[in-house]
């Protein structure tokens, strides 16, 4: 399982691979994406602070049981042409037949040699730490953000969903990556009515004795965070390589949601007072940060508030939902939607 030379020749010497370890290289890591997508009208620059929070132990509790690092790549003229990060989540790494790490936040010009150098660098770092396999692109956190490679449907992304050029797919495949699973995102037009059968089920469930529905209240965030944890850790426990979600991860996620959350879009169902099901829907932040270029300085904050109260959201993203196993055929999901 030792790293193999890929015969890239002098390209390794000409290109400058730099590990991110100071403010200048942190800025360059963020600037790679800005440079590559500057002429793409669909791309919306993520907030710099959100990307940086992944690599900050004070803001990402995954550092308590894992480690990560990242690199930037420049050509021989010093121009930024790529980046990559590598992660080990020790709670999950050894749940697989082969100890498995991950790579993510990959960005690269359309050059297989440059991509191979980035992949090799992440791979070698993981091998040095006992890993035998590498998943990617993934995130050093939960899989609701910055996860997966876009291969179809190159439309304007929702916030937190990876967007990339079509040429990334062959870059990954030519290196040796194989599809682990496919995830499909569906779009629902709110103005279109639900099917009659769906509506009847929802009305019937919502009137059942013992069933209550209530939306999130930010003033009581701790309560809903605990209800979320109870439902989530029951609903997903049978999934392969499932790891229970922690209090710290939930509160980090809920705190990040607070600036954009609409209480009427996050709903919980209770059966005889017990948490049973939830759906978390968020306004699409990309509608509010387009044009900010990732910066949430004073001007960015004012622009964000203007967009939030004047432009307003037209798109929402259903981030996650879950139902305890014992209630999974009750129709609670229909009632929540």
What is the DSSP-derived secondary structure letter of residue 292?
S
- Report in angstroms the alpha-carbon separations of 32 from 44, 139, 272, 336: 14, 18, 52, 41
Per-residue pLDDT reduced to its tens digit, 79-104:
999 999 999 999 999 988 899 999 99
Question: 269-288 burial, b if ≥16 CB within 10 A, otherwise e?
Answer: bbbeeebbbbbbbbbbbbbb
Average of per-residue pLDDT across 228-244: 86
| Max CA pair span of the chain | 72
Q: How far apart are the first and last CA of the chain?
A: 48
pLDDT given at position 4: 40
- Single out the residue of 169, 166, 177, 72 nearest to residue 118, CA to CA: 72
Half-sphere exposure of 163 (CA within 13 A, CB side): 20
d(CA 256, CA 51): 12
pLDDT given at position 107: 98
Band of residue 146 on the pLDDT scale cut at 50, 70, 90: very high
Contact 177, 163 (CB under 8 A): no
pTM: 0.85
What is the DSSP-derived secondary structure letter of residue 294?
T
pLDDT, mean over the chain:
90
Does 180 or 298 have the greater pLDDT score? 180
Average of per-residue pLDDT across 301-312: 80
Contact 107, 85 (CB under 8 A): no
SS3 154: coil
d(CA 158, CA 151): 15
Helix or strand holding residue 166 (H, E) = none
d(CA 194, CA 173): 40
Per-residue pLDDT reduced to its tens digit, 4-22:
434 444 444 457 999 999 9
Contact 70, 84 (CB under 8 A): yes
Apex CA 278: angle with CA 274 and CA 283, to 5°? 150
SS3 108: strand
Asked which of 208-212, 218-222, 275-279 is least confident by mean pLDDT, the reply is 218-222
């Amino acid at each position: 399982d030792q790293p193999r030379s890929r015969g890239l020749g002098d390209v390794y010497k000409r290109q400058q691979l730099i590990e991110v370890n100071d403010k200048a290289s942190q800025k360059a890591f963020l600037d790679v994406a800005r440079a590559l997508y500057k002429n793409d009208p669909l791309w919306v620059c993520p907030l710099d602070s959100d990307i940086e929070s992944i690599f900050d132990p004070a803001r990402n509790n995954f550092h308590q049981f894992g480690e990560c690092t990242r690199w930037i790549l420049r050509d021989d003229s010093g121009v930024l042409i790529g980046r990559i990060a590598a992660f080990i989540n020790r709670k999950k790494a050894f749940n697989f037949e082969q100890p498995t790490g991950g790579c993510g936040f990959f960005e690269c010009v359309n050059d297989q040699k440059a991509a191979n150098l980035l992949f090799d660098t992440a791979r070698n770092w993981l091998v040095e730490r006992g890993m035998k396999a590498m998943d990617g692109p993934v995130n050093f956190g939960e899989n609701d953000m910055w996860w997966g490679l876009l291969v179809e449907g190159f439309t304007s992304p929702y916030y937190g969903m990876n967007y990339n050029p079509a040429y990334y797919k062959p870059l990954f495949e030519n290196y040796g990556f194989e599809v682990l699973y496919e995830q499909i995102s569906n779009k629902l037009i709110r103005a279109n009515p639900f099917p009659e059968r769906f509506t009847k089920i929802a009305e019937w469930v919502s009137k059942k004795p013992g069933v209550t529905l209530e939306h999130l209240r930010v003033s009581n965030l701790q309560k809903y965070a605990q209800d979320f944890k109870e439902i989530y850790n029951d609903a997903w426990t049978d999934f392969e390589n499932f790891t229970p979600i922690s209090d710290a991860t939930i509160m980090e996620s809920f705190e990040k949601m607070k600036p954009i959350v609409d209480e009427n879009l996050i709903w919980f169902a209770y059966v005889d007072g017990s948490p049973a099901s939830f759906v978390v829907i968020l306004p699409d932040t990309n509608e509010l940060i387009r044009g900010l270029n990732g910066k949430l300085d004073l001007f960015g904050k004012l622009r964000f508030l203007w967009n939030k109260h004047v432009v307003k959201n037209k798109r929402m993203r259903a981030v996650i939902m879950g139902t305890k196993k014992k209630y999974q055929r009750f129709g609670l999901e229909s009632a929540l939607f």
